[in-house]
Structure 1
C-alpha cells in the first residue's frame, strides 16, 4: 500500500513539473556580446505562459518595465520592444503564469560594447 501511495505522489509532482513553461531561447542570447543595442527582445518558451511583467535594467540605471500590451493571454513566443540605452550590461527580468497557474520567474542578460 505504501508503494502505491509513494508512486501516486511521485506521479503528481512529476506532472506538475512538466506543466511549467521553461524558457527555450532568447534573442539576444543569454550572455551575448553585441556591437549595438537591439530594439526588441524575443523570448521563446517551451509551453504557453502569460507574461505579467518584463523589466529591463541597464548598467547603473533604474529598472524600467517593458510594454506587454500586445499580449493578453497565453503565448509561447514574445517579441517585446525595448528602448536601447547604448553600451553596457542589460538584464531582462520576466515573470508570468504557466498554463497550470504556477508563478514563474527568470532572467537573461547581454552586453553591448
Structure 2
C-alpha cells in the first residue's frame, strides 16, 4: 500500500505485524522512508514494549479512520471535481478534529464521540 501513496523522503509509515519485513524496510529506506512495524511473531519479539507502543498508535489511527468512515461517511462524497472533493474531505476532517477538541476540553477521552451527545 505504500507504493501508491508514494510518501516523501524523510517520512515514516506505520504498519501492523503483517508488514514487518527486513526486505521491505530496506527497500523503503533506500527511498528515504522509515517503516515502523511490530515484530512479526509476538512470542519471539525482541522488543515487546516497542511493539505494544506501535500497536497502540495504530489502534488510535484505525479508530479515527473508522469514525471518519462510520460517522462522517468520508467514503461517499459525490464530488464532481477535485476542488469539491478536497473541500468536502477537509470539512469532514475538520468536523472530526473539532469533536476531538471538544472531548479534550471537557476532560473526556478524545475519541469518545458518543459522550458528546449523551453526556
- The structure in which a higher percent of residues are helix is 2
Question: What TM-score range do you get, normalising by the shorter chain?
Answer: under 0.3
TM-score normalised to the size of structure 2?
A: 0.26
- Which of the pair is proportionally richer in strand? 1
